[in-house]
Structure formats: C-alpha cells, structure tokens
Structure 1
Amino acid sequence: MGSESANSDNSELAAELAKASEKPANFGSMGSVSNGSVSNGSEFTGSESLSEADSLLPLSVIAQVAAGAETSTQITVNGRSIPNSWASWARWSENGQTRIGLSDGAIAQLVGADLLDTNAPDRQPIQWFSPMPVTLAARQIGAFRYLDITDWARDRGWQLRPNGSTLDITAAVSTLRALRQGNQAWGPRYVLDFDRPTAVQLEEDGSTLIVALDARSALPPNSSTLDITAAGNRTIIRIPIPSGSRPRAFTLVQPDRLVIDLRPDWLPSRSIAWANGLTWRQQYLSLGSARFPVQWLELNPRQPGLRLRPLPPNAAGQTGIAPLVQTIRQWEAPAGINGGYFNRNTQLPLGALRRDGRWLSGPILGRGAVGWNDAGQFLFDRLQLREQISAGSQNWTLTTLNSGYIQGGIARYTSDWGSSYKTLSDGELGILVQGDRVAQQLTGGTAGSSNFPIPANGYLLVARSLSSVAAALPVGTTVRLQSSSNPSGFDGLPQIVAAGPLMLQNGQIVLDAKREGFSDAFIVELAARSGFGQMADGRLLVVAVQNRVGGRGPSLSEMAQLMRQMGIVNGVNLDGGSSTTLVVGGRIVDRPSRSAARVHGALGIFLNSP
C-alpha cells in the first residue's frame, strides 16, 4: 500500500542516484501527529501527510536476528490456507527463543501493511493501523526477505503456531462498522471503519478491486451500492476501478480506518534497501507533460555474492512459457524481470539466451543484447552469431541456433533445445551429426507433424527450403563447425540476454529499431516496457515502466529517454507490453498479478551463487 499524499517527480534523478548520502524514510500518511498522539483527521481533506519534523520521529525497533533458520511457504490465517507464491515464513532460534518471520511480500499483501523507505536491508519500517511506523528486523534467507513479527504479532493479540511446515496465524476478527465514499480531485475515495485493526488483502481483477477483510460486517442492509459479500468472519467488497486508475491504500487510527484511493497517479515513491547491493525503487518520471510510473532495481555488481543469470522457463528444454513469478521461484531467485522475445503460439524463443557459456537460444536479426561475466564485465551492443559448417569444399552459413525464428537455409539445434525438435515448417530435412559425422537423415512432413531426435554428443541440422543439402551431406560425411560472435567481445562472456532494440551506448541514445528488424507497427507502439542498463559508475538498473498517467506506456524513443534520465549510459530494451513484469521477493511489484502474461525467458538476480 502507498501513502495518501501525491509524490513529486524527481527531475534530477540521475544526480540523486549518484549521491552517496542517505535520505530519511518517507513514512507516507497516517493522520496528523501531535506529541505522539494521532488526531482523527478527515479522510476527505487530503491533508494527512506527516510533516518533515514528524517524519524524523524515532522508530521502534522490534528485534535482532541471528543466523540459521527453517523456511516454508505453507501459511494459514484464521484457518484459511494462503496459496500465493509470496506467502513464505521462517523460524529461527535467538537467545533461546523461537522467532517467527514473514516474507515482506506476505506482510504487504496478506496483512496489508505498507513497506516504507529504508536504507538498511536489516531494518524495515512498516505502517499498519498505528500512530507511528514500526521498524521490524529483517533478514535475507534464500529468495525471501523475512521480517521478524514475533513481538509485533504478540502486541496485536495474534497467535503464531508453527505446526510442522505450516504456520497457523490466528488474529482477532474485527468488525466493519461503516463504509463511506467521497470524491477527490484525482477520483473516488473509499473509507472503511473498523473497531480494531484488521488484515486486508487487495487484488485487482481487470476493472474491479477485490477487498478481502478478516472482519465481520455490521453494515446495514442496502447501505452501499457496492457488491459486498459477508459470510461469518470474512467480508469481500468489490469496487469498480475507473479506466486508467489503480488503487493506493493506507491506514489511519482513532478510529481504525482503511482508506482506498483510485487514482491515475497511483504509485507512491519508495526507496527500499532490500538486500546488500540491491535497492528497490519506484517513482514517477516526467518527459514533458507525460508522467510515467517507473519501478527499478538498483544493483551493485561489486557486492560479494550478487549474481545475474539468464533463466529459461524450464531446465529440460526451450519450449514453453510460464508466469515470470513461477520461473523466478523455480530457480530460487530473489528478484528478476522478463527477458527476450518469443512466439506466444509456438512458445519458442526469438532471441538470445546464453547461460554459463551454453547457447540455450541464439540471437536473431542482429538485435540489441547484453553480455556479462561474474568479474563485472558488461557489453551492450547489437549481437550477431556467425556459424558455418563445411564438408569437403562446400560451406554453408547457418541461419540460427536453437531458435523459433524460421528462415530458409540451415538451422542448428543442440541438446540445450531439448531431446527432440518438432518441425516448424513443411518438408524440413533433419541431419543428425554425431562425433563430427553425419549419422542420419530424416524427412519431415507438414509443420508440427514430425519430431527429430537431437543427439546429446552432437547436434541436429534442419534444412528448410534447401533440398540440395541432402545430397551434399550424406551419412558418413565429416562436418566441421565454426562459430563466432560479432562483436567478438561477446565470445568471452558466458551470460547473454538479447531482445532489443539497443537503446544507449556511452551515454548516447543509439535507438535504431528498423536496423534490428522490428516492424513499423512495433516501432510506433505505446506499451509497458522493460529495460536493463549500466550507469557510469558501474551500477546496474533493472527497469519496468507501465502506462503513463492518463494514457498508455512509453514509445521506444520515450523509453530510451527515460533510461538516460535515470543515469543509464549503456542499455538495452527487453520484451514489453503484457510481458513487462518485475518480481521482488516472490511477488509481482509493478502491475496487478492477474494482468501479467506468461513469458519465455527471464533475467534473474541472485544474492549468492546460483
């Protein structure tokens, strides 16, 4: 949840990112504070932000943490199982006492607490039905960042019962006493009054906001035009979302209230040091009169243990797509963003993915790519892979490697593609090469009707619209393979992700989508976009940009300008539109989870060697 007050743009973002100084946390809105008490305030005045002096009030630090922990993703709340990927908990012993931690995603989405600014990864301020923020101790375990809720939950009357691998949470059920609606300059505001703090879950489903409460309803019948379903100690409210708006919610006290604003400028500014070397930021950036919600991860590649890896949707082959959050969880990455392009119908890659020196899929059309190694070397450029086979005096330049991109000529497939290859066009010829010799020829029928095996100790050549190669490469023929990248600097980099277009080099915008084979329709499209870039000091930014206030997402040109405004000097565009998804700690943070499309590849961020 975010703060109530609007957040100003930072037109000097690049300069801010270059500063080494630390800023005090932005604690959002929680009513007007006076001498440690909170006045009722008015939910409809728009004036409930903390003053600068109030924001510097001391925080309450709950607990320290120690090494060693058990973790699980099985949680129940008041007897209700929580199946979501972000619902993870941990248990550890400290000073002879058992401590319980919830992942920060669970705190935010299961409880409804607002994660506030912090420059310390082991401390996380939260705001949830309290006059002042409370800072919980945090610890990084695997793919999650856990907040110690042991004392915090006890002080609120919760019971935490570890039951094998399941954490049973029992919280006092509150009563929903009133629901009011008003209008602000930005759109509708809903205020829910309770007799005590209550767990809140907000989920966007298209044009509807689903508000799920661990609260019984005391609302008079027909007192609201909203769709309200009350059953026992559970109340579900469905609120229509105006076109172009998203919810921003926060809590107040005296009485305990949940305030939900539906507004075009929904994104609160945040800066959270999520782990050593990884900071999660979000705010609006402006280009002229356009304001874009930008969320990004700032990475320090010099941080010991921090690694980036290309991630396929499965380890068995390159066919298939999956929700990004599933891929990230499968590889146990703490964070990640969607990667290159793919064919949604065939579910095959259309861009380069090289992991640990192995081409899982090869580049096409000389598109923008980034390559790197764990020593901190990065190369951003347009990438071509030149492969050539020769037999006797004849030579053939191959079209693609492990790719769903179809061209006439000869393509090559290795066991990284999978154990077999299903024909992509009519009348293909398969040539199995083992030990540098042609072992077998196979003739395919119509597209999709034939499967050619891919030898583990060789590769498969697939000839398309090139029948003459059958006579030139009979069984027993010795075949020589040569492979090199252009620019050659990519050859020595074991990790590569390619999508395109290339956006920036040496601080200059070098966008040329036509040169990289993108269609005119793609070039002018306004859509959500993902990007990856390097700053002048070596820091890396993983960027997701959604729809502008009152309109659609950025054009390619606008995305390049936004990346440069953020201080990126070398950068590449990744797949975008419904594919644009940023995951942190097991949950999607940049868009409603139900709106995220399945994707093929990803760029995963690890805090220890993957």
Structure 2
Amino acid sequence: MFPVPDPEALALLSHDRSHRSHKLLAASAFGLVLAVVAGTSPAVAGPVAGTAPAISAAPGTLAPGVTYREFARPTGGAEIPLHLVEVDLRNPLVTVDLITAGAVAARAPISVQADSRQAIAAVNGDFFNISNTQPGVEVTGSAVGPAISGGDDLKAAVPNGQRFGPGLPPGTSTSDVLGVGVDRVGRLARVDLRGTVSAGRERFPVTGFNQYALPVGGVGVFDSDWGSVSRKRPTCGTDTDRAAACSTETYEVSVRHGRVTRTGTEPGAGAIARDTVVLVGREQGAQTLRRFAVGDRVRVDYDLVPEGPIPFRFAVGGFPILRDGEPLAGLDARTAAIRTAAGVSADGRRLYLLAVDGAGPGLTILDLALTLRELGAASGVNLDGGGSTTLVTRAVADPAVAVRNHPSGGVERPVPNGIGVFSRLSR
C-alpha cells in the first residue's frame, strides 16, 4: 500500500517528461576544508564481519530533520572512522535530491555541486566512466546507472558488462537505484528505459538514453542534458566487455521539432539544443538509422519507468547490498576499502548517507551492509568509493559546506553526481 502523495507529489505526477528542465550548475572555484577526525587511525587488521558500530560522538543537528555525526566501527584491533548524515524524510522542511556537475557527461567535486544547489549535506553518488581502453576516445565521466533529479529523467543505465565498480551481487543490475519518491518515501527499485522512434508505419525501440555505453545493435537518445562531450564512447565496448573495441558501424541522426535536420556516419560532439535530440546507432541500430533522410518526420519518445506506481523525485544508481534487513548473498567479505553507501529505513521515512573515512583501511562490502543495518537501514546500496568517497555538511547559517571525511586521494575527486540534502531554512 503506497501513501497518498502530497500536493507537491501530485504536481510531479502530472509533470510532462517531454519538457525536461536542464539545470546547469555554476562551476566555481572552491576551498577544500577538511574536518579532522579526532586522533590518527593506526594500521589495523580487516574489519570483523557482523560487528555492530559503536557511536563515538553525539549527533549534531545541521537543520530540523537532519543530523551529522562521526562514529567508529570496531575491527580486529582498532576502529574504522565513518561519517553519517541521517535525514528524517517526514520533516516538511527537508528535501533530498540528486545533485550533478551540470550535465550528465561532466564532473565536479561534491563540495562544488552542493554549494551550487545550496545543499546543507551531500555525499558522492554513482560509479562512472572514469577511464577508457579505446585509444583516442574521450572519457565521458558519466554515471553507470539511471539518474533522476527533481523529477526529471537525466539518463538510463549502461549494460551490466560496461559498468565500473565491484562485481554486482547475483540478481542485481545497473538499473537498480536508491531514491525518494514524490510521496517522500525512500526505496530501492529498478528503473528501466522505455522508448520508441516512430516514422510513418515504422517503429523501433530506443535502447539507450544519455549513457556512455549503448547495447550492441541498439539506438540511443541524447538530449541537452548530456552535455558537450563526444558521443563516440557510447559505441565502444560490448554488453559483456567494457574494454572491447569501438563499433565500426555507426550512424547519427539529429531531430529537431519532429524532423531530421542532420545525418552522419560518425557520432558527433558539442552541446545539443533544448529543442533537439540526437539518435546514435551501432551495428543493427546504425543500419536502421540509415533509412532516414534530412526532412523526414520522426517522433522520438523516451521515459524512465520505475517499479511501482509512484515516480521518483530523485534516484541514483548503485548496486544493492541490503534488502529487507538482510545483506544480499555473495557480498565481498574479504576486501576492505574506502566506500560510500546510502540506505533507507523499513518504512522509507529515514535516509542514511554513509562515508568511510580515508584515514583508515576501510570496510568490506559485507561490513558496509551490516553497518547500514545497525544504524537503522533496512535497504541500502553501495555507491562509488575509493578516491570518490566524499561527505560534506554545513549548518543552515554557514555560507559553504565543509568536507567532513579525509578523501583517500588527499583532495576531492570530481564526480558526476551525488545525493544532496536541503533545508527550507537554509539561505
């Protein structure tokens, strides 16, 4: 039984996805402020699976409904420092949304993304296209999974074999997300792309949307949210091998106001106008697009469809590690690393944003799931970690966020997106 949406939810339910709002975030210089975790963590043995976290500091209130605290998870001889932002989604003064670097194919430090949107807290989000093996192909920096911000669909998921990050647990996919619905309830769900291209009596499916890797033989849609990065990378690799060569059979078609305005054999680059979509095909998809000529009438429809009847207000890709209060089968219990996670309570009314501090050896994925559970989460996802792990906060009266963890690389890594927390009391 889903809760009845509030008036804001009803407005979003009637939102026309064909008129997507492209929210460009200002890129500005930033000052990196590190909040030092008390003490220096010595080298320790790997974490002990199943050990409950010990809270070592009282939570501090950032705003009504939002708290931040540091705590330590006991290990085989010491403690692993972690950072937690807890959000009461029932509080009408609090909202949560996906923050971005201004385009799907763009990156910026989380502190910059948070300050651009005046967030009071944020953590980094999804894994992303951080490197390529194909010579001369531009790295897009775009995320692996689906992304929804402010109720607007930004991108769909790449094929499983094209993802970055640790291996997926059995039964999960790149289409899995954690998000908050227009009913203000957090949940795990799968978000799939549904789309078609229609020309006269011909109809064929859209298999990609603003993503750095298209399925073999498919056709992808790119709109103004993509950014200006080259669209070559989406035609590289295969559904099972990210490092495979780029396709030798590609085709691109630009459609403006329902008519073809340009065609070409190679994927292009540069910003896409708001009234234009670009179709990129590879293999069979390229053969299909070759049928179009400049002036042809074409209709392009595409949408992200979540499980269940309630649309997401925001959603971020991440592979599930905790579901219905239980860690998923097959989680890595041996490799400790710096990690980021997000979880929701059983009723979906509390959100947990967790960052492992880079000053310690980190946690295994299994211990990450157990930590989320001990904190109160019933479901959760593993987000990008390592040098990407960043958690920032500020009080509502402060002008800018401060980085609360020690990033493992010494400075913030630019990332494509994150989870931002907002207070209506914030200036």
TM-score, structure 1 as length reference = 0.50
CA distance in 2, matches of 1:591, 1:533: 21
Cα drift, residue 351 of structure 1: 2.3
**Aligned residue number for residue 597 of structure 1:** 413
**Aligned residue number for residue 169 of structure 1:** none
CA distance in 2, matches of 1:430, 1:491: 34
Of residues 64, 82, 107, the one that matches 1:321 is 107
**Aligned residue number for residue 308 of structure 1:** 96
Cα RMSD, aligned residues only: 3.5
Higher strand share: 1
Cα drift, residue 433 of structure 1: 1.6
**Aligned residue number for residue 532 of structure 1:** 342
SS in 2 for 1:468: helix
Change (3 A) 1:282 1:415: same
Q: Which amino acid aligns with 1:337?
A: V
Cα drift, residue 457 of structure 1: 1.5
**Aligned residue number for residue 292 of structure 1:** 80
Structure 2: gaps spanning 5 or more residues: 1-29, 46-54, 132-138, 161-172, 236-245, 395-400
**Aligned residue number for residue 6 of structure 2:** none
Q: Deviations over 1:37-95 (max 9, x none)?
A: xxxxxxxxxxxxxxxxxxxxxxxxxxxxxxxxxxxxxxxxxxxxxx8455xxxxxxxxx
Determine if contact 1:371/1:494 at 8 Å carries over to the other structure: yes
Are residues 1:587 and 2:405 paired?
no
**Aligned residue number for residue 384 of structure 1:** 192
Cα drift, residue 491 of structure 1: 6.5
Q: Which amino acid aligns with 1:344?
A: I
Determine if contact 1:306/1:607 at 8 Å carries over to the other structure: yes
Cα drift, residue 289 of structure 1: 7.0
**Aligned residue number for residue 208 of structure 2:** 400
* Aligned pairs (5 A) from 1:21-170: 84=31
Of residues 253, 265, 275, the one that matches 1:443 is 265
Q: Which amino acid aligns with 2:414?
A: R
**Aligned residue number for residue 492 of structure 1:** 311
Q: Which amino acid aligns with 1:504?
A: L
Cα drift, residue 605 of structure 1: 0.8
SS in 1 for 2:308: helix
Determine if contact 2:44/2:76 at 8 Å carries over to the other structure: no
Are residues 1:283 and 2:99 paired?
no
CA distance in 1, matches of 2:76, 2:324: 24
Q: Deviations over 1:199-223 (max 9, x none)?
A: xxxxxxxxxx9xxxxxxxxxxxxxx
Change (3 A) 1:511 1:435: farther
**Aligned residue number for residue 576 of structure 1:** 385
Change (3 A) 1:289 1:567: farther
Q: Which amino acid aligns with 1:464?
A: R
Cα drift, residue 461 of structure 1: 0.5
Change (3 A) 1:84 1:371: closer
Cα drift, residue 375 of structure 1: 3.7
CA distance in 2, matches of 1:512, 1:414: 37
Change (3 A) 1:384 1:598: same
Change (3 A) 1:439 1:525: farther
CA distance in 2, matches of 1:462, 1:399: 10
Q: Deviations over 1:317-367 (max 9, x none)?
A: 333322222221222211100011211241223222211232222223443
Determine if contact 1:430/1:452 at 8 Å carries over to the other structure: no
CA distance in 2, matches of 1:422, 1:376: 35
CA distance in 2, matches of 1:389, 1:609: 45
**Aligned residue number for residue 416 of structure 1:** 225
CA distance in 1, matches of 2:378, 2:83: 18
Cα drift, residue 438 of structure 1: 2.5
SS in 2 for 1:326: helix
Cα drift, residue 393 of structure 1: 4.5
SS in 2 for 1:432: strand
Determine if contact 1:340/1:602 at 8 Å carries over to the other structure: yes
450-459 or 554-563, which deviates more: 450-459
Structure 1: gaps spanning 5 or more residues: 1-82, 87-104, 115-188, 190-208, 210-240, 246-266, 514-521
Change (3 A) 1:574 1:435: same
- Report which of the two structures shows the higher radius of gyration computed on alpha carbons: 1
**Aligned residue number for residue 469 of structure 1:** 288
CA distance in 2, matches of 1:268, 1:596: 25
CA distance in 1, matches of 2:113, 2:146: 17
CA distance in 1, matches of 2:62, 2:354: 16
Change (3 A) 1:453 1:601: closer
**Aligned residue number for residue 358 of structure 1:** 152
Determine if contact 1:504/1:511 at 8 Å carries over to the other structure: no
**Aligned residue number for residue 320 of structure 2:** 502
Q: Deviations over 1:560-606 (max 9, x none)?
A: 12211222012222111111111012111121582432212111111
SS in 2 for 1:322: coil
Determine if contact 1:340/1:352 at 8 Å carries over to the other structure: no
Q: Which amino acid aligns with 2:223?
A: T
CA distance in 2, matches of 1:377, 1:489: 12
Cα drift, residue 372 of structure 1: 1.9
Change (3 A) 1:318 1:526: same
CA distance in 1, matches of 2:229, 2:80: 44
SS in 2 for 1:568: coil
Q: Which amino acid aligns with 1:541?
A: Y
Change (3 A) 1:523 1:372: same
Determine if contact 1:309/1:605 at 8 Å carries over to the other structure: yes
Cα drift, residue 280 of structure 1: 0.9
Determine if contact 1:359/1:402 at 8 Å carries over to the other structure: no
TM-score, structure 2 as length reference = 0.70
CA distance in 1, matches of 2:231, 2:291: 23
* Aligned pairs (5 A) from 1:195-274: 269-274=57-62
CA distance in 2, matches of 1:376, 1:414: 28
CA distance in 2, matches of 1:310, 1:322: 14
**Aligned residue number for residue 333 of structure 1:** 119
Q: Which amino acid aligns with 1:539?
A: R
Determine if contact 1:324/1:337 at 8 Å carries over to the other structure: yes
Q: Which amino acid aligns with 2:356?
A: V
**Aligned residue number for residue 422 of structure 2:** 606
CA distance in 2, matches of 1:271, 1:391: 58
Determine if contact 1:287/1:562 at 8 Å carries over to the other structure: no
Determine if contact 1:340/1:575 at 8 Å carries over to the other structure: yes
